Each structure stands twice: as structure tokens, then as C-alpha cells.
């Protein structure tokens, strides 16, 4: 392989040596741990704009780092939202080439065909997850792990912190609700990094056996409050949204707006028919939300932008928001989406039933407390970090 250019060496390793003892070090920064396995191999990278070799927005991208090292990167595989992370939720993204490097980019979200194991020798996974069962990046990783298992290819996960890694909460997925927003029998908030989740999927037989290596982060524990340097997807714009996301994403299964088409997605919720609370917003078409629910309609609702992040973290999966909205809607029979998407998100039948019966958030959480205990014991053998 070619030597790394001196300018890139200085930018990566001078900063690395100066701060590695105190800051979280990403798996992709630990080049000596995985570059030898890439020697003479055709490499595919599952990544997007979050694949930064460092903790700053200005950190170099893993694709640029590998190309500078002479690694034969044959393709980039992109998850939902595309390689640049700008596409709407659920939007099909076409394949093409990265205009900066010329490397082939294959979209795995909404694609009819998948790359075959014959297209590469090693799969690198370097993408930032947010630690919920309905965030789709891990599902794309699992699909590619299956491809590698069939083709006898090696998988290397360059691990990253889970910004919600301090919490395990929510019911375990009922198999009948397995879908594109829920692929494994895990709680809504699982508390694992992608590397830990990949190990658990293989160890529990949820995916086919595969040659898997995880390059861990350094200086990270599950109590670390890691702040993301870039938004992991278009509508998770800041840490307030990332912390609220496990709870407010459930509004995707209702007729309400959760703020898509505003500057505060996942930080507000409302509907034109909700009881007036003194706060309102109007979703508009914009980048990352071209066709937001309730577009151009004034929604009355609740503003969570200034809610204490410490309190949000302490509450875990918080059903008080959706219960509050259900009670404030003038016609609760029109509250839920008719396609059953709420059940796909929450993963069980009983949560909707208990909300409609007037149960409190505490009563509902007590119902899944056993699920959390079971999962925490089950995942013990796969934890990499304290």
C-alpha cells in the first residue's frame, strides 16, 4: 500500500496522540488494528457522511483515509438517507459515483438488488447509529452481514459510541411485527453500539455465522455522554433531538406531526385538531422533509426544545408525550395511522391498547420491565464496554 501523505499523517496522528488519552477514539482511527487485514483485498465500506475518523466535524472521512493509504476500495455502500445523508426518511436513493473520489456508491436503501459477495473481499462498517430498534442503519448492516456469510467474506465493524448507550428501555419486538423498522428481538432502546449489536446478532443466531471482527472505541463506556459531531440523519439535527428520538419517533405511527418540515423535528409535536396550548407550528416543504405530514397546516401542540436533557435521559422511553397528545386530540379515534405503523415501531400490541384504556406511562412501562431485565442479562456476553 502507498504511504499516507505527510499532511494527512500530521492532521490525523498529531491530533490523535495529543488527545487520545482523554477523548473518545473512534474505531476507524485505530488504523493499525485493521489495515493489515485489508492488504491486497478488495474492500467495500458501509458508511455515509458520519464515517469521520475523529470526533470533529472537520475530521477526515474514512473513505479519504483509506484511499490515501492505498486501500483498494471498490465501492461505498450507503444506508437510508444516502452517502451524503441528505435524503428524506424512506426516500429511494439512486446509486452512482462519489464526485470527489470517483468511487462507486451503491445505495442499499430502496434498492431492488444487493451487491454480491463477489464484488469485494472485506466489508468495513463505519456508520453512526443512535441506538434504537427503529433506526435503520443497523438493519442495513445485518443485511450485508448475511451477504458476507453466504459468500464467506470478512466483516470488520469500526465501532462508534451509542449516543443513547446509557439506556435500555421498551418492549422486546414481537416477531409478528418484524419489519424494515424493527429486525431483531431487542427493546426499542437497546443500549448497544453497532459492534456489540453485530456480535449479539451472530452469537444469538439472529443472523448467519460470519467472520466478524469489531475494532472497539477507546475511552468510551455506556455512561459516556458522547455528543455527535454531525447530524446522523437530516431530521436529527442536534443532541436534543437525538435524546428525544426514542420517544417522539412513536408519533410516526399517528396522524400528528413531530416537527418534520420545521427547524425542530422530533423536538415538537402537534396537530390542527389538538387542544390549543399556546404553542403552534406549521410544517413546510424543505430539504430533508420535502413532503412532511400536515404540510402547510397550522398545528397546535407541545414544545420540547428547552426540556432538560438530563431529565430526558433519565426518563428513557417516555410515553407521556404520546399519552398527552392522545388525550388532547378532539377525536382520538382518528389519532392512530390506519396502517398499523405504531405497532411496527413499538413492537407489541398492548401499548396502544393500554393508552386507549387510560393507563399511565408508569403502568405501561411496568408491563415491559421484565423484557428489559431479560435483555440486559442476555446481552452480557456481548458487551465490549463497561
pLDDT in tens, 113-171: 678 778 899 999 999 999 999 999 999 999 999 999 999 999 999 999 999 999 999 99
Phi, psi (5° rounding) for residue 30?
-90, 65
Per-residue pLDDT at 330: 80
Per-residue pLDDT at 82: 66
Tens digit of pLDDT for each residue in 355-385? Answer: 999 999 999 999 999 999 999 999 999 999 9
Per-residue pLDDT at 7: 45
Out of 8-12, 92-96, 119-123, 235-239, least confident range: 8-12
Tens digit of pLDDT for each residue in 300-355? Answer: 999 999 999 999 999 999 999 999 999 999 888 899 999 999 999 999 999 999 99
Residue pair 158/212 in contact by the 8 Å Cβ criterion:
no
**The three grid cell numbers given for residue 161, joined into one nine-digit string:** 459510541
Percent of the chain with pLDDT over 90: 81
Half-sphere exposure of residue 72, counting CA atoms within 13 Å on the CB side?
Answer: 11
Residue pair 194/213 in contact by the 8 Å Cβ criterion:
no
Tens digit of pLDDT for each residue in 272-303? Answer: 999 888 999 999 999 889 999 999 999 999 99
Domain ranges of the chain: 6-228, 239-348
pTM of the model: 0.91
Residue pair 73/106 in contact by the 8 Å Cβ criterion:
no
- Report the C-alpha gap between 311 and 334 in whole angstroms: 31
Instruction: Name every residue whose Cβ is closer than 8 Å to that of residue 41 and which is 6 or more positions away in sequence.
Output: 72, 120, 121, 122
Q: What is the mean pLDDT of residues 60-80?
A: 94
Per-residue pLDDT at 344: 98
Classify domain 6-228 at the CATH topology level: Rossmann fold (3.40.50)
- Report the C-alpha gap between 214 and 200 in whole angstroms: 12
Half-sphere exposure of residue 223, counting CA atoms within 13 Å on the CB side?
Answer: 1
Beta strands in the chain (DSSP E): 42-47, 72-78, 96-97, 104-107, 122-126, 154-158, 211-215, 268-271, 280-281, 299-303
Task: Please state, rounded to an integer, the average pLDDT across all residues of the chain.
Answer: 91
Task: Name the band, by pLDDT with cuts 50, 70 and 90, for residue 14.
Answer: very low
Per-residue pLDDT at 276: 86
Is pLDDT larger for residue 9 or for residue 21?
21
pLDDT at 45 over 70: yes
CA 331 to chain centre: 33
Helices (H), the chain: 6-9, 15-19, 31-38, 62-68, 137-151, 194-203, 239-248, 309-315, 320-328, 341-346, 350-356, 361-378
Amino acid at each position: 500500500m502507498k504511504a499516507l501523505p505527510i499532511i494527512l499523517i500530521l492532521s490525523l496522528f498529531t491530533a490523535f496522540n495529543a488527545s487520545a488519552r482523554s477523548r473518545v477514539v473512534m474505531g476507524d482511527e485505530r488504523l493499525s488494528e485493521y489495515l493489515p487485514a485489508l492488504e491486497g483485498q478488495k474492500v467495500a465500506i458501509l458508511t455515509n457522511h458520519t464515517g469521520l475518523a475523529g470526533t470533529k466535524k472537520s475530521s477526515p472521512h474514512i473513505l479519504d483515509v483509506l484511499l490515501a493509504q492505498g486501500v483498494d476500495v471498490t465501492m461505498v455502500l450507503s444506508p437510508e438517507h444516502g452517502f451524503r445523508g441528505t435524503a428524506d426518511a424512506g426516500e429511494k436513493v439512486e446509486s452512482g459515483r462519489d464526485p470527489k473520489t470517483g468511487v462507486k456508491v451503491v445505495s442499499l436503501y430502496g434498492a431492488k438488488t444487493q451487491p454480491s459477495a463477489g464484488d469485494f473481499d472485506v466489508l468495513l462498517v463505519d456508520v453512526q447509529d443512535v441506538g434504537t430498534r427503529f433506526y435503520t442503519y443497523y438493519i442495513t448492516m445485518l443485511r450485508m452481514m448475511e451477504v458476507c456469510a453466504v459468500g464467506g467474506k470478512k466483516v470488520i465493524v469500526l465501532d462508534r459510541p451509542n449516543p443513547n448507550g446509557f439506556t435500555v428501555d421498551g418492549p422486546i419486538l414481537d416477531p409478528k411485527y418484524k419489519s424494515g423498522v424493527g429486525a431483531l428481538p431487542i427493546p426499542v432502546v437497546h443500549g448497544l453500539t453497532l459492534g456489540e449489536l453485530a456480535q449479539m446478532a451472530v452469537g444469538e443466531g439472529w443472523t448467519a455465522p460470519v467472520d466478524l471482527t469489531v475494532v472497539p472505541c477507546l475511552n468510551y463506556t455506556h455512561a459516556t455522554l458522547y455528543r455527535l459531531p454531525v447530524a446522523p440523519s437530516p431530521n436529527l439535527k442536534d443532541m436534543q433531538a437525538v435524546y428525544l428520538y426514542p420517544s417522539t419517533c412513536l408519533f410516526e405511527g399517528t396522524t400528528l406531526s413531530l416537527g418534520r418540515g420545521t427547524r425542530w423535528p422530533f423536538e415538537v409535536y402537534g396537530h390542527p385538531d389538538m387542544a390549543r396550548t399556546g404553542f403552534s407550528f406549521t410544517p413546510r416543504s424543505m430539504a430533508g422533509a420535502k413532503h412532511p405530514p400536515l404540510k402547510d397546516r397550522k398545528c397546535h401542540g407541545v414544545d420540547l426544545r428547552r426540556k432538560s436533557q438530563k431529565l430526558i435521559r433519565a426518563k428513557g422511553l417516555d410515553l407521556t408525550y404520546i399519552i398527552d397528545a392522545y388525550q388532547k386530540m378532539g377525536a382520538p379515534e382518528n389519532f392512530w395511522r390506519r396502517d398499523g405503523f405504531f405497532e411496527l415501531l413499538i413492537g407489541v400490541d398492548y401499548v396502544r391498547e393500554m393508552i386507549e384504556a387510560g393507563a399511565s406511562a408508569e403502568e405501561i412501562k411496568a408491563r415491559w420491565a421484565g423484557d428489559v431485565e431479560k435483555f440486559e442479562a442476555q446481552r452480557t456476553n456481548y458487551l465490549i464496554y463497561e
